[in-house]
A and B are shown apart, each in its own frame.
Chain A
Amino acid sequence: MKEIFVRLDRCVGCRSCELACAVEHSRSKNLFEAISETPRPRRRLYVEYVLGRKMPFLCRHCEDAPCVRACRTGALTQDPLTRIVTHNPDKCIGCWMCTMVCPYGVIGREWERRIALKCDRCPGREIPACVEACPTKALVFMEQEEFARLARLEAAEEVAKSYRIAG
């Protein structure tokens, strides 16, 4: 299964992912109309700025998701196959147990209905909206093995360069 991975060194902090996420979760799916919709379309991922670095944070859809275990009403469920954690707004009572246990703080709040709000991995889209919107390809959508290999090759290239200099 593909996951959304972040290449942290590539984020320039443009927040295009946040806008695209909110637009994707609007009724019109069009920026110019979405900005005047009620309830206001909300982003489900967050570009934070810590220690001089820009860090896009979004739901990891953890293998053993603490939010699903903490949810008392069954609003949060995890697909046994894809491991995507889905939120059912009709079952949510806004108790915020999920928020308390999420290690990354990526569960938001829809103010109008007082319920939780989180990444749904854009059902119906081949590529999630945030990934598609990222101009520097800091966000990528790929298999874990593929991403690990990408990181491995980048690291290997650095090692190879120093090896050549040393040799």
Chain B
Amino acid sequence: MKALEEYSWCPAVQEMLRQAEKLDIETAWCRYEAQLPQCGFGELGTCCRNCMQGPCRIDPFGEGPQKGVCGATADTIVARNLARAIAGGAAAHSGHAKHLAHVLLLWAEGKAPDYQVKDEAKLKAIASRLGIPIEGKDIPEIAKEVAEKALEDFSEKETPVAWLVTNVTKGRVEKAIQYGVVPTGIDSAISEVMHQTSYGVDADPLNILLGGVKCALADFAGCHMATDLADVLFGTPKPLVTVANMGALKPEAVNIALHGHNPVLSDIIVQVAKEMEDEAKAAGASGINLVGICCTGNEVLMRHGIPPVTHSVSQEMVILTGALDAMVVDYQCIMPSLASVAECFHTKLITTISIAKIPGATHIEFREEAARETARQIIRAGIEAFKRRDPAKVRIPNYTHKAFAGFSTEAIIWALSQVNKEDPLKPLIDNIVAGNILGVCLFAGCNNVKVPQDSGFLTIAKELARNNVLLLATGCGAGAFARHGLLTPEATEEYAGDGLKAVLTAVGKAAGLEGPLPLVLHMGSCVDNSRPADVAVAVANKLGVDVDKLPVVASAPEATTEKAIAIGTWAVTAGLPTHVGVVPPVLGSPLIAKVLTQDVKDLFGGYFIVETDPKKAAEKLLDAIRERRKGLGI
């Protein structure tokens, strides 16, 4: 076994890795080592499996075949594979959004009475943005029209995807029109990429990439819609404080983890759990303790302060504590291996969605029409499992950090408005111009078994903070910062440069905090990358420049999923220099690699920075910010 910090920088995960070794339980890290060395053709993106004449591979050293059976070159194959990955990511994000749209429609029609519109003002604002008249209409009527408009956005129509064009700058829409990448339906863009990349259709690598860009813009629309509709149904997050890491598991309580991505079930579980405390007590527990994993965890953290216990690559570790009674999952980023780890304990793994079942798990089908009843059934299964818990197997790693979260766009604007009521963005812009804030970096994406967990996030963030870069985070990146205490005012005191510290302190105090705002602002789950995008669009509109001129960058130092590829692509299309800390499978085509890291800059202003060394990555991000400042003459 390697040194523990080569697996994860999280002390709780390290403790559980020792436990896994002791109990001889296989983890993602073991399986990764068993996979090594991984297939070089796959690593380079030069394996094509799109027809049954294949699989075809291109020899990167030039001796073997340079074309697939159909004649596709490495450039074509790499482009096809990349576009398909974007389509996969867009399908996941927008599937999540579509699910929420259906729930909103069901509620509006009176068929899902367990839901409600929690944020009426946001519903009205969305309706107005979409051009839906709201005068004289009641909330269910508006909700119905917004939900129908959302569902319309999925299929092919004559007009652009509304959730895209109403949420970006005019300049970005013009660019998208110029390059022919405006999607007219989210599902239709995904389906078009599948058509474009299937046998014998598009062989032009650059044209395929543009298809991928179109699909990535559909992904942005899906992300934004998911954020919007979740806020409408469950409330727009406001700043709150909680604790993070596995120490939040309680030895005396029924511990239930909410894992996956969508608040559609998990938010109801949070509501219902409060009413079932007595049942838990009757079973001998002190109560019900809900905790979060991955982005479902982020959703219930942002709205209810549910403690996030771990993220992404370390999800199996929570079961290894022996104190987890049930893990409830919806979809995305859920490792099938959870079932085999759960077998070694009393933990009940519960799948809930018809398209996401795991052999070995218990499936309790979630019905939106009877949401509270499903939630009760699930919690009851957790209470039953609690009775079978073996206290001798319990080993909760005693690590927690205080964590502030809940920084929706609305919450950030509110905090800024405490400094300047008439013009909330002015303090932010003035400080960027004055250089107190050098720029802004959004951290997003997953953990990846190839990177020591959290090392990329922590190394880059500390370096950028020292250089006065304002830090925003979403998804498992935000989770990494939560578990390491970077979502705190104390971290601001410790790591922020003087300029940044002064600004965060001024805003924090104006907003009623004792001290500064946290070093990193947690803006939500991975679909909530739409929130920082909204902030960037608002700043750009106010300054009268496009997003690709702003000193704003993005970083996914430990990216894993197809969703991360889709988000990265729309971030580049939005105009951001976007760092990726894991080598994406594109190097088999020097042409594509060059387009993604250089040439795309001439098209959209943004570009990818691929750098696996986090120290060098921080330097490159700082250089990109400084270049942008120079462009603005500040």
Residues of A within 8 A of B (CB): 14-16, 18-20, 22-23, 31-32, 34-36, 40-43, 132-133, 135
Chain B residues 572-591 with CB under 8 Å of chain A are 583, 587-588, 590
Given A16-B39, A16-B40, A132-B37, are A36 and B590 also a contact pair (CB < 8 Å)? yes
Chain A min CB distance to B580 (Å) = 13
Q: How many residues of B contact A (CB 8 A)?
A: 17
- 8 A–B contacts from the bound complex (CB under 8 Å): A15-B57, A15-B64, A35-B587, A36-B590, A40-B61, A43-B61, A43-B63, A133-B37
Closest 5 interchain pairs by CB?
Answer: A19-B40, A35-B60, A22-B61, A133-B37, A40-B61
Extra pairs beyond A16-B37, A19-B60, A41-B61 (15, CB < 8 Å): A14-B41, A15-B41, A15-B57, A16-B40, A18-B64, A19-B41, A22-B61, A32-B44, A32-B583, A35-B60, A35-B587, A40-B63, A42-B61, A43-B61, A43-B63
Bound-state Cα–Cα, A40 to B66, Å: 15
Instruction: Check A14 against B39 for contact (C-beta < 8 Å).
Output: yes
For B510-533 the 0/1 string (1 means CB < 8 A from A) is: 000000000000000000000000
Bound-state Cα–Cα, A86 to B57, Å: 31
Chain B residues 539-589 with CB under 8 Å of chain A are 583, 587-588
Instruction: Check B40 against A23 for contact (C-beta < 8 Å).
Output: yes
Instruction: Check A35 against B44 for contact (C-beta < 8 Å).
Output: yes
Bound-state Cα–Cα, A15 to B37, Å: 12
For B24-64 the 0/1 string (1 means CB < 8 A from A) is: 00000000000001011101100000000000010111111
Q: B61 — which chain A residues lie within 8 A by C-beta? A: 19, 22, 34-35, 40-43
In the complex, the chain B residue whose C-beta lies closest to that of A26 is: B61
Q: A31 — which chain B residues lie within 8 A by C-beta? A: 40, 43-44, 60
Q: A34 — which chain B residues lie within 8 A by C-beta? A: 61
Residues of B within 8 A of A (CB): 37, 39-41, 43-44, 57, 59-64, 583, 587-588, 590
- Among A20, A23, A32, A42, which residue has the most Cβ atoms of chain B within 10 A? A32
In the complex, the chain A residue whose C-beta lies closest to that of B583 is: A32
- Among A31, A41, A43, which residue has the most Cβ atoms of chain B within 10 A? A31
Chain B min CB distance to A103 (Å) = 22
In the complex, the chain B residue whose C-beta lies closest to that of A19 is: B40
In the complex, the chain A residue whose C-beta lies closest to that of B590 is: A36
Bound-state Cα–Cα, A101 to B44, Å: 37
Bound-state Cα–Cα, A114 to B43, Å: 31
- Among A16, A19, A132, which residue has the most Cβ atoms of chain B within 10 A? A19
Bound-state Cα–Cα, A40 to B590, Å: 15
Chain A min CB distance to B64 (Å) = 8
Q: B37 — which chain A residues lie within 8 A by C-beta? A: 16, 20, 132-133
Bound-state Cα–Cα, A125 to B61, Å: 22
Instruction: Check A40 against B62 for contact (C-beta < 8 Å).
Output: yes
Given A32-B583, A35-B587, A36-B590, are A20 and B40 also a contact pair (CB < 8 Å)? yes
- Among B37, B40, B44, B57, which residue has the most Cβ atoms of chain A within 10 A? B40
CB-contact partner of B588 in A35, A40, A135, under 8 A: A35
Q: B62 — which chain A residues lie within 8 A by C-beta? A: 40
In the complex, the chain B residue whose C-beta lies closest to that of A32 is: B587
Bound-state Cα–Cα, A40 to B37, Å: 21
In the complex, the chain B residue whose C-beta lies closest to that of A21 is: B61
Q: A133 — which chain B residues lie within 8 A by C-beta? A: 37
Q: A35 — which chain B residues lie within 8 A by C-beta? A: 44, 60-61, 587-588
- Among A14, A15, A22, A35, which residue has the most Cβ atoms of chain B within 10 A? A35
Chain B min CB distance to A148 (Å) = 28
Q: B588 — which chain A residues lie within 8 A by C-beta? A: 35
Bound-state Cα–Cα, A139 to B99, Å: 49
Q: A32 — which chain B residues lie within 8 A by C-beta? A: 43-44, 583, 587
In the complex, the chain A residue whose C-beta lies closest to that of B610 is: A32
- Among B37, B44, B57, B59, which residue has the most Cβ atoms of chain A within 10 A? B37
Q: B590 — which chain A residues lie within 8 A by C-beta? A: 36
Q: A20 — which chain B residues lie within 8 A by C-beta? A: 37, 40
Bound-state Cα–Cα, A16 to B64, Å: 13
Q: A14 — which chain B residues lie within 8 A by C-beta? A: 39, 41
- Among B57, B61, B64, which residue has the most Cβ atoms of chain A within 10 A? B61
Bound-state Cα–Cα, A22 to B44, Å: 15
Q: A135 — which chain B residues lie within 8 A by C-beta? A: 39
Q: B64 — which chain A residues lie within 8 A by C-beta? A: 15, 18
Chain A min CB distance to B38 (Å) = 9
Given A15-B57, A35-B588, A36-B590, are A42 and B40 also a contact pair (CB < 8 Å)? no
In the complex, the chain B residue whose C-beta lies closest to that of A133 is: B37
Chain B min CB distance to A37 (Å) = 9
Bound-state Cα–Cα, A31 to B37, Å: 11
Bound-state Cα–Cα, A70 to B63, Å: 26
Bound-state Cα–Cα, A133 to B41, Å: 13
Chain B min CB distance to A76 (Å) = 22
Bound-state Cα–Cα, A34 to B59, Å: 12
Chain A min CB distance to B590 (Å) = 7
Q: B63 — which chain A residues lie within 8 A by C-beta? A: 40, 42-43
Chain B min CB distance to A111 (Å) = 9
Chain A min CB distance to B47 (Å) = 9
Bound-state Cα–Cα, A21 to B243, Å: 50
Q: B59 — which chain A residues lie within 8 A by C-beta? A: 18
In the complex, the chain B residue whose C-beta lies closest to that of A31 is: B40
In the complex, the chain A residue whose C-beta lies closest to that of B36 is: A132
In the complex, the chain B residue whose C-beta lies closest to that of A35 is: B60
Chain A min CB distance to B604 (Å) = 25
Q: B43 — which chain A residues lie within 8 A by C-beta? A: 31-32
Bound-state Cα–Cα, A15 to B64, Å: 10
Bound-state Cα–Cα, A22 to B63, Å: 11
Bound-state Cα–Cα, A23 to B61, Å: 9
Bound-state Cα–Cα, A15 to B62, Å: 14
Q: B40 — which chain A residues lie within 8 A by C-beta? A: 16, 19-20, 23, 31
Bound-state Cα–Cα, A43 to B60, Å: 11
Q: A16 — which chain B residues lie within 8 A by C-beta? A: 37, 39-40
Q: B41 — which chain A residues lie within 8 A by C-beta? A: 14-15, 19
Bound-state Cα–Cα, A39 to B587, Å: 18
Bound-state Cα–Cα, A133 to B37, Å: 6
Bound-state Cα–Cα, A55 to B588, Å: 25
Bound-state Cα–Cα, A42 to B63, Å: 8
